[in-house]
């Protein structure tokens, strides 16, 4: 048997970082060799998350130690910090998979507009790829910096991508997304204080969420022409999962059968996309704790619309699971190594 891949996580105590650790600890062909955290340096991970008690004795160290020990480094840190880590990784020959936004947008102007920062290391960006494996894995071999997609963009691209690729819908979309509270992260806020979120529901950052340019860039790339989206995210009083309800005008003369055929062709070999049979509706419940994206297709004949519902677990396919899927593909493992997780039904 070949040796295990040495994997490290920078920012291991955020929610995405923790889920990465958990999945890597259960991965048969990877080994979690080092983890870091600014806030909890020196502590054991299980002191921060008692769920991991006795599962690992790794102590949280600093990022340099993570980079020194790892062949692949996952960076789960706020935007603006990843170029430095990525540079150190590629200089020592390691792969860097960024969970944040620093390698997702190809246009520095978009990054500046939505995130307020600059790309400083252009060479790094030239060797990076937007790592949505169902659509863009042809670049994986050549690249060693991976921009792991955002949770909303993943749900949207997997939902409407095939229709855009095949030219079956118009290029102005309405996207109404709903996310569980882990998407808001571990940081405390009044909005995510239990008594205030529980039994509440509302949109936030209406038509102003930072994932908007990432969604538009990805969909434009898939469509081969400019796609614009009205994107409204909502916060669900549950822990995990995203449902995106995507509204598109069918192009002239397009039939329902054509749409379904395009999706079937596109996802025939996709290990982690489940195109649901006619009559079924995607539900985040049925993908939770798995790396699946469920997609269901619906038609409003009265209005000539295609309505796509996509559901993912924001922490898995929307973050840690997809990052490991990317690692698997980059390192030549089975795409689902460590990810053959059957979602619980309740």
Catalytic residues: 151
Residue 11 C-beta: closest distance to a second copy, Å? 15
Please provide the DSSP assignment of 240-288 as one string.
S-EEEEEEEEBPTT--HHHHHHHHHHHHTT-TTEEEPPTT----GGGTT
Is the CB of 122 or the CB of 195 nearer to a second copy?
A: 195
Count of CA atoms in the C-beta half-sphere (13 A) of 291: 24
Q: Quick count: other Cβ atoms within 10 Å of Cβ 148?
A: 30
User: 323: closest CA among 1, 56, 5, 53?
Assistant: 5
| Residue 298: C-alpha distances to residues 177, 232, 250 (Å) | 16, 20, 11
Q: How far is the CB of 52 from a second copy (least distance, A)?
A: 7
The nearer residue to a second copy, 82 or 296, going by C-beta atoms, is 296
22 Cβ partners below 8 Å, 6+ apart?
52, 320
Whole-angstrom CA distances from 333 to 61, 201, 208, 329, 339 are 28, 41, 38, 6, 11
Which residue lies nearer to a second copy by CB, 230 or 255? 230
- Minimal distance, residue 210 CB to a second copy, in Å: 14
Residue 296 CB, nearest approach to a second copy (Å)? 8
Shorter beta-carbon distance to a second copy: residue 65 or 336: 336
Angle, CA of 173, 174 and 180, to the nearest 5°:
130
Q: Which is nearer to a second copy, 127 or 260 (CB)?
A: 260
CB of 139 to a second copy, least distance (A): 28
The answer to whether residues 343 and 289 touch, using CB atoms and an 8 Å cutoff, is yes
For the record, the structure tokens of 17 come out as 């970082």
């Amino acid at each position: 048997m070949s040796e295990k891949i040495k994997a490290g996580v920078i920012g291991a105590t955020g929610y995405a970082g923790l889920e990465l650790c958990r999945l890597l600890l259960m991965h048969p062909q990877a080994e979690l060799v080092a983890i870091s955290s600014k806030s909890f340096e020196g502590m054991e991970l299980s002191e921060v998350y008692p769920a991991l008690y006795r599962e690992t004795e790794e102590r949280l160290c600093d990022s340099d130690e993570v980079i020194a020990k790892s062949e692949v480094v996952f960076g789960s840190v706020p935007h603006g910090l990843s170029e430095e880590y990525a540079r150190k990784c590629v200089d020592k020959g390691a792969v860097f998979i960024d969970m944040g936004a620093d390698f997702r947008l190809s246009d520095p102007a978009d990054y500046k507009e939505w995130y307020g920062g600059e790309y400083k290391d252009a060479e790094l960006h030239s060797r990076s790829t937007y790592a949505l494996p169902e659509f863009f894995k042809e670049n994986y071999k050549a690249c060693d910096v991976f921009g792991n997609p955002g949770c909303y963009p993943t749900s949207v691209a997997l939902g409407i991508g095939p229709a855009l690729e095949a030219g079956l819908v118009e290029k102005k979309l309405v996207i109404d997304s709903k996310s569980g509270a882990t998407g808001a992260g571990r940081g405390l806020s009044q909005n995510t204080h239990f008594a205030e979120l529980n039994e509440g529901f509302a949109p936030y950052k209406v038509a102003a969420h930072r994932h908007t340019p990432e969604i538009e860039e990805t969909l434009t790339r898939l469509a081969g022409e400019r796609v614009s989206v009205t994107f409204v995210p909502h916060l669900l009083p549950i822990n995990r999962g995203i449902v995106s309800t995507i509204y598109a005008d069918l192009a002239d003369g397009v039939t329902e059968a054509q749409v379904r055929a395009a999706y079937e062709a596109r996802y025939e070999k996709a290990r982690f996309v489940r195109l649901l049979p006619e009559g079924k509706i995607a539900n985040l419940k049925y993908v939770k704790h798995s790396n699946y994206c469920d997609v269901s297709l619906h038609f409003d004949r009265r209005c000539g619309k295609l309505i796509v519902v996509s559901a993912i677990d924001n922490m898995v396919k929307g973050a840690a699971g997809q990052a490991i899927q990317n690692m698997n593909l980059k390192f030549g493992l089975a795409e689902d190594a460590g990810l053959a997780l059957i979602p619980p039904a309740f």
